[in-house]
Amino acid sequence: MKNILVTGGAGFIGSNFIHYLFSEKSFTGRVVNVDKLTYAGNPENLDGISDRFADRYVFEQADICDRESMAALFERYEIDTVCHFAAESHVDRSIADPDAFIMTNIMGTYGLLETVRRFNASRAIHFHHVSTDEVYGSLGNAGFFTEETPYRPNSPYSASKASSDHLVRAYGETYGLSVTTSNCSNNYGPYQFPEKLIPLIIENALNEKPLPVYGDGRNIRDWLFVADHCRAIYLIMNQGKRGGMYAIGGRCEMENIQVVTAICDLLDEINPCRSGKKRRDLITFVKDRPGHDRRYAIDFSKLHNELGWEPQESFETGIRKTILWYLDHPAWVDRVKSGEYRSWMNQQYGE
């Protein structure tokens, strides 16, 4: 890991991962962050990094689908490791308009793999693919996803991620590339774009706006604090079995309505409404998402048994840190919610 290419490093998890890398003593290499800067990418997420690690950090704005640009980066920076985050990541957007999901998540991953294959002829390159538990579809009331669970994606987003997982696996088998893949549950924490459930609810609750809960609010997700996820990725990249796939979870299954009420109660405690209202009164049940997966839950025994990983953050500690971060960063939220994001919300909801 001398010269690591992080794709999508200006997004939520990618930027947390770059912060993690520079805090990790065993990492002494250089990071090349390549990001197209879609509505979800924000170089501000790396503020501080470019100043403090000017000789070890480079930002390059480019589209992973642009193979010539990718090849130029591999050449110029002598890339030996790739950690691939870049993707279109929001399920609701994939339902409204799947095009960008097919292009970036499938064709973009394919292009990167081809570039790795080309350069791998002259130097060994490791490729880590960051994927999701949503590729496995939906669970009933019992059971857990493991690395052995058959793929059954239900949304255009999860189908595009499943496709990219298969390509990564195939390039390992067919061309002998050194690859690892991780499939994690729902992340939350600092720098998450406020269209995903947790930051959206925090922002709306802070501004005393309605809190939209899809369907009956009883869909279950397993919540993983982003720093725990970053630690797992680093471990897998360094010590994971080549060709291996690893499920990562937060040991934290919750119904959406429990998540939303927990945020309401904590915000009432930390930052009570000026009007004296209770934030739970803002909860509004809205039309369900089409094809809405009912339950996700992860058995991460493989990662635990092979590499000794387990989450350090509980939901109570993680959500408090997250809320405090959003309270401390109102300017960040205002900026990311302007521009392209606002026009998309206008188109969808006439806001």
Interface contacts to ligand TYD, rule CB under 6 A: 91, 186, 196-197, 200, 212-214, 219, 221, 256, 289
Q: Is 231 a binder of ligand NAD (CB under 6 A)?
A: no
Active site residue 133: yes
Spatial contact of 16 and 85, defined as CB atoms under 8 Å apart? no
Which entry of 35, 63, 133, 228 is annotated as an active-site residue?
A: 133
Distance of CA 203 to the CA centre of its chain: 19
Question: Of the two residues 21 and 323, which places its CB atom closer to ligand TYD in the complex?
Answer: 323
Spatial contact of 28 and 55, defined as CB atoms under 8 Å apart? no
Which residues, 6+ apart, have CB-to-CB distance to 7 below 8 Å?
Answer: 14, 34, 35, 64, 82, 83, 84, 85, 86, 112
Question: Of the two residues 289 and 321, which places its CB atom closer to ligand TYD in the complex?
Answer: 289
Which entry of 157, 171, 191, 246 is annotated as an active-site residue?
A: 157
Least separation in angstroms between residue 275's CB and ligand NAD is: 32
C-alpha count within 13 angstroms, C-beta hemisphere, residue 69: 13
Find, among 39, 41, 32, the residue nearest to 8 by Cα. 41
Q: Is 12 a binder of ligand NAD (CB under 6 A)?
A: yes
Q: Is 259 a binder of ligand NAD (CB under 6 A)?
A: no
**Binding partner of residue 214 among ligand TYD, ligand NAD, none, CB cut-off 5 to 8 Å per kind:** ligand TYD
Least separation in angstroms between residue 30's CB and ligand TYD is: 32
Spatial contact of 4 and 82, defined as CB atoms under 8 Å apart? yes
Phi-psi region of 73 (alpha: psi -120 to 50; beta: other; left: phi over 0): alpha
Question: Of the two residues 18 and 177, which places its CB atom closer to ligand NAD in the complex?
Answer: 18
- Catalytic positions, please? 133-134, 157
Query: Contact residues for ligand NAD (CB under 6 A)?
Result: 7-8, 10-14, 35-38, 40-41, 63-65, 85-89, 104, 108, 130-132, 161, 184, 186-187, 193
